[in-house]
Amino acid sequence: MSLLKELLKLGLPLLVSMAAIVGLGVTDTVMAGLASTEDLAALAVGSSLYLIPLMLLIGLLSVVAPRVSWQLGAGRKSSLTGDCWQSMWMGLLVGSVTALLVLAAMTFLPLLKLEAGVEAVARDYLSIVVIALPLLGVSLGLRNTIDGLGFPVVNMWVSIACLLLNGVLDYLFVFGKFGFPQLGAVGCAIATVGVVLLQIVAPAVITFTHKEIKRYRLLSQIVAPEFSTLKTLFMLGMPAAFAVTLEECFFTSTSLLVAPMGTTPLAAHQVVLNIAMLALIFPIAIGQAAAILIGRSLGKNKPHDAATQSRIFLAVLFSMMLFCSVLMLLARGTLMSLFTGDAAVIVLGSGLLLIVAFQLIVDGLQIGSNIALKGYQDTFIPAMCQLFSYWVVGFPLAFVLTKTSWFGMPGGVERVWYALFAGLTVAAILGVWRLFYIGRQFVSGSRALAS
């Protein structure tokens, strides 16, 4: 019972934080949808391309929290300041590189054969939102350090403040209120940059003012880049970043498959993706809590506790996802109407949510198990499992079902979601198996964490 209490104590603030973070994208989608279907379609394309480097940064720096927790468990408090700074340096560098790559990728937008208005808005959106990427890298390094120290409540309040700020900025710039220019989906990009600035400033101030966090002196002096620590974080983080990016590219690729089907299917697909993402805050948050607890237990040399935490985590996660599935089945139409007033989009999206309702369970298990594995510093094999699930099973099946006549006439957006279901089911099986397997290795003493 104490392990369950610890999991929920960490997990619930992380859950609220994730809800607020996901709410940023949801708010953008709602505002753009209310502006026009063209703005919603442009946001679908622009945000899909932006989310690839965003998820790479999130994956790369997600290993920081369990590593910091492990350092604490092992009594290595002197290493925390260095790890914090090196994670911020790494985030700044990778964020800058990915911003340049997004700008380069914009030259390929004409290949999507979008409607002229949709392409123009998507291009303007991307030109602004890339400014956020290097700043976000710095923010994620600091944020994950604070989570690893065991203070997710701090980040929870910052995330709530960011959600409120995003809503205000969206309202001002999307609809042109109080003298601000009416920019539609482009206004969402301006809001994103403003939010990321707050995500840096607020945690930085907290490191100096929070009565418990300030004793770690995380930002009391600037620490120059250190190759050895950067290398360690990079070697741990890159497989995780690769896995998260593979997943985002998988979903983005499905948007690209849907784009030629027309504005209505693309808009419905984007809304359904956002609704599914709302439910996935549960495995992301609880998985991160499990990774932090597992890292702390291993730092204390208690692998049996880590294995028990893994089992409790999976049981809690399955229950949560089952509840989300039932809720989605009962409220499909209502959920769609919250995002758009277009009747055609609502009808099509409601049908897609029938598939997603069942998909949520396997998607939650595969996300949660792969995040929890970071507590064991196991990132490479899980990444390979996701590579197989998404790109050997999922995407080829989506392509075959929508672009070929191998299984009858090429289908519409519904078949894309059937393929997603298949790929995510394979990923769930492999992820859960890996979590149990690694836990047994640590208990037996045949595996240990590297310094």
| Rounded Cα distance, 204 and 287, in Å | 25
Do 430 and 370 form a contact (C-beta atoms < 8 A)? no
Distance of CA 90 to the CA centre of its chain: 18
| pTM of the complete model | 0.80
pLDDT of residue 451: 56
In the chain, domain spans? 2-444
Range ranked top by mean pLDDT from 177-186, 214-223, 358-367:
358-367
pLDDT of residue 332: 87
263-279 helix and 303-330 helix, angle to the nearest 10 degrees: 140
CA angle 423, 429, 430 (to 5 degrees): 90
Q: Work out the average pLDDT over 410-437.
A: 88
Residues present in the chain in total: 451
Q: Work out the average pLDDT over 273-297.
A: 86
Token pair for residue 347? Answer: 């009808």
Q: How crowded is residue 178: how many other Cβ atoms within 10 Å of its Cβ?
A: 7
Do 303 and 443 form a contact (C-beta atoms < 8 A)? yes
| Rounded Cα distance, 91 and 301, in Å | 30
pLDDT of residue 325: 92
